[in-house]
Amino acid sequence: MVSLCPARDPLTESVMTTRNNKAVANAVVISAMLFAASPASAGTVSGKLTSADGDAIAGAIIRLTDVQAGISESVYSDARGEYVLETDLQGELRLRFRAHYFADHEEQIVLPDAAASLGKDVRMTALDADREVSESLAASYHFNELPFDIGEDEPFTRDKFQLECLSCHQLGNPFTRTVRPAESWQQSVQRMHAYMGAMDITEKDRRRAEIFAEGFDGKPTEMRPDFPFDDALAHTKVYEYQLPSSGVPHDAYVHSENGLVYTVDQFADGMYVTNLEKGETEFVPHPEQGMPLGGIFTVLGVPPAMNKVNVRHGPHSLAEGHDGKLYVTNSYSASIGVFNPETNEWEQKIPLPGNAPYPHTIRVDSEGILWFSVVGTEQIGRLDPKSQEVTLIDLPEPRPVAITPAVLTYGVAVSTLDGSIWYSRLWGNRIGRIDPDTLEVTEIESPVFGPRRLRFAEDGILWQTGYGHGEIARIDTKTMDMKVYEMPEFAPDARPGPYSLNIAPKTGDVWVNETMTDHIYRFDPEQERFIAYPAPLRGTYTRDVTFTAGGWACMTNNPIPVQALEEFTGVLMCLDPNYRK
């Protein structure tokens, strides 16, 4: 049995911040009455960024934060180093300037009203010490310092390491690259291998621990990635809404009727509801509904060493049914949760047959049927929400490519051409198709290594991420013609980790979540080019994309543990690619 994403950090054994149970016993409204969008009569902060030599700094992040409200807005400087940040944030605010290879510049400012304007030119200081530069770089460049195996058939090559060890969290950020002896690493490695279902592999436990101890030696990385500037950055604005007391705010979804953003938090055991226009977020805890702490794993008698999650349900992924309700994969209670946006309450969960553990990703088809993956039993589930009848579909025998016997039946997508159901097997390097009427299953080899989440565009093209090699694939499911695109590499062999993707309904652009480079990516299928957006916070780990009616791309920023994220709090992040166009 595989149990993913433990509540303890898998490599440092640091316990997540204790949550006040009384605080989440009832819905708590975190009010931020400042409208965090770009209104017609906005205040303005503008200026120019230059180096000590007077050269323009392009692509810098200018971030304005209302600390009390937990709302931030960011823009990027253009090719001339100039920026304009329109905002409705008022009062005492924190203004931060950040650019690659320069020291942050931060100061407190006051915007007395919504019509206030402030000019702020900044001459930024270059980082000159190796350690300063090293500390400013994302996890990927420190991860690359590990002495990976070279031979393709060896167990600990970089791509296999990325596939197996970065599934839930980063490796290489300050939280996980602490200097430790191999003996200490081995304890963590043994536990993580056990989570993967790989027991009693002592030699591999020892070898992986030695790789960690040797590579994470406390020395600055010598990698110096080159970050190109794209003009699209100058027309983009990023909004961030803190999710207070969040554990793992996993997937977010913009509701088609009310426009609110619903975020399931796997380790806070509930739902965040965010009103983007008002800047308000509310947390609604999932009722116990007879489930003990540890969920179905406690019911099944999984040993405490394998079940350290202090939650009952672990909501993970969500989809909007034709009745407007949100159907949620409760990963730890082996059930489908039901959240009613009209009442703002959880309804009675729908249990899975046989206590099938860890339902993972859920999608809805044109008939209103819900389809979801089940990691623990390597199946695909079908739920008719009207009758609440659940069918679990067996898949072909697993063929793992990792050291684990599991293959992680992972992503699910519904074809916009014929309604067929497609799925991915992350550690099996396979994708498959299910006929929705006969439930007949067909599997093929994945065109990319480590297929993670996948989705169909309106034109019927299937897009999927390849986590191990940092790629995305385009698949014409009518002809089975396939094309693979390598994501941008800012330094040699520092491959991105694409987790999920979604296709913007208005433009057809493919937005890609990523976990190791502190960037969000957009792919233009017509021009066949990527645009990389630097994230405002270091330690960024995003897992899914959803879109507002106005074209914003929204996602949660949620490394495990959440303390690995700069500012130590999970956030809902939205990118507006049409700002000031």
* CA nearest neighbour of 164 among 550, 468, 371: 468
Same domain, 108 and 152: no
Same domain, 69 and 147: no
Same domain, 104 and 150: no
Question: What is the reported pLDDT for 33?
Answer: 32
Residue 271 pLDDT > 50:
yes
Same domain, 141 and 228: yes
- Rounded distance, CA 83 to CA 76, Å? 6
How many CA atoms, within 13 angstroms, populate the side-chain half-sphere of residue 492?
3
Same domain, 112 and 161: no
**206's tokens:** 């020892």
Question: What is the reported pLDDT for 41?
Answer: 53
CA angle 249, 471, 409 (to 5 degrees): 55
Question: What is the reported pLDDT for 35?
Answer: 33
Residue 279 pLDDT > 60:
yes
Beta bridge partners of 485: 472
Q: Considering its fold, how many domains does the chain have in total? A: 2
Least trusted range by pLDDT, from 160-174, 305-319, 520-534: 305-319
Residue 505 lies in a domain: yes
| Spatial contact of 498 and 471, defined as CB atoms under 8 Å apart | yes
Q: What is the 3-state secondary structure (H, E, C) of 22-70?
A: CCCCCCEEECCCCCCCCCCCCEEEEEEEECCCCCECCCCEEEEEECCCC
Residue 92 lies in a domain: yes
Residue 36 pLDDT > 60:
no
Same domain, 55 and 92: yes
Same domain, 520 and 547: yes
Residue 552 lies in a domain: yes
Question: What is the reported pLDDT for 3?
Answer: 44
Single-letter amino acid, residue 397: E
Same domain, 35 and 111: yes
80 pLDDT band (50/70/90 cuts)?
very high
Same domain, 63 and 157: no
Same domain, 505 and 571: yes
Q: What is the pLDDT of residues 292-345, one digit of tens each?
A: 999 999 998 876 555 557 899 999 999 999 999 999 999 999 999 999 999 999
Question: What is the reported pLDDT for 87?
Answer: 97
Residue 121 lies in a domain: yes
- Rounded distance, CA 104 to CA 533, Å? 18
Percentage of the chain beyond pLDDT 90 is 85
Alpha-helix residue ranges (DSSP H) falling in 61-172: 130-136, 139-143, 158-165
4 pLDDT band (50/70/90 cuts)?
low
**Model pTM above 0.85:** yes
- Helix (H), strand (E) at residue 393: strand 389-394
Residue 557 lies in a domain: yes
What letter does residue 399 receive in the DSSP assignment? -
Question: What is the reported pLDDT for 34?
Answer: 32
Question: What is the reported pLDDT for 406?
Answer: 87
Residue 46 pLDDT > 80:
yes
- Cα four-point dihedral sign 454, 457, 458, 460: negative
Q: What is the pLDDT of residues 179-208, one digit of tens each?
A: 999 999 999 998 888 877 777 788 889 999
Choosing from 127, 158, 187, the residue where a domain stops is: 127
Residue with more model confidence, 261 or 306: 261
- Rounded distance, CA 303 to CA 194, Å? 11
Range of the domain at 36: 31-127
CATH code assigned at 83: 2.60.40.1120
- Helix (H), strand (E) at residue 189: helix 182-195
Q: What is the pLDDT of residues 475-485, one digit of tens each?
A: 999 999 999 99
Question: What is the reported pLDDT for 308?
Answer: 59
Question: What is the reported pLDDT for 24?
Answer: 35
Choosing from 127, 159, 194, the residue where a domain stops is: 127
What letter does residue 17 receive in the DSSP assignment? P
Burial class (CB in 10 A: 0-12, 13-18, 19+), 509: buried
Residue 405 lies in a domain: no
DSSP secondary structure string for all residues of 229-271: --GGGGG-EEEEEE-TT-S-EEEEEE-TTT--EEEEETTTTEE
Residue 11 lies in a domain: no
Question: What is the reported pLDDT for 201?
Answer: 80
Contacts of 11 (CB under 8 A, 6+ apart): 169, 171, 176, 185, 188, 192, 212
Same domain, 82 and 155: no
Residue 27 pLDDT > 50:
no
Question: What is the reported pLDDT for 37?
Answer: 39
Q: Is 433 helix (H, G, I), strand (E, B) or coil?
A: strand
Choosing from 92, 109, 127, the residue where a domain stops is: 127
Question: What is the reported pLDDT for 38?
Answer: 40
**46's tokens:** 């503008």
Same domain, 76 and 162: no
Residue 150 pLDDT > 60:
yes
Residue 426 lies in a domain: no
The whole-chain average pLDDT of the chain stands at 92
Least trusted range by pLDDT, from 22-36, 57-71, 200-214: 22-36
- Rounded distance, CA 243 to CA 30, Å? 9
Q: What is the pLDDT of residues 85-122, one digit of tens each?
A: 999 999 999 999 999 999 999 999 999 998 999 999 99
Contacts of 243 (CB under 8 A, 6+ apart): 249, 263, 265, 272, 274, 281, 283, 556, 569, 570, 571, 572
- Rounded distance, CA 123 to CA 60, Å? 12
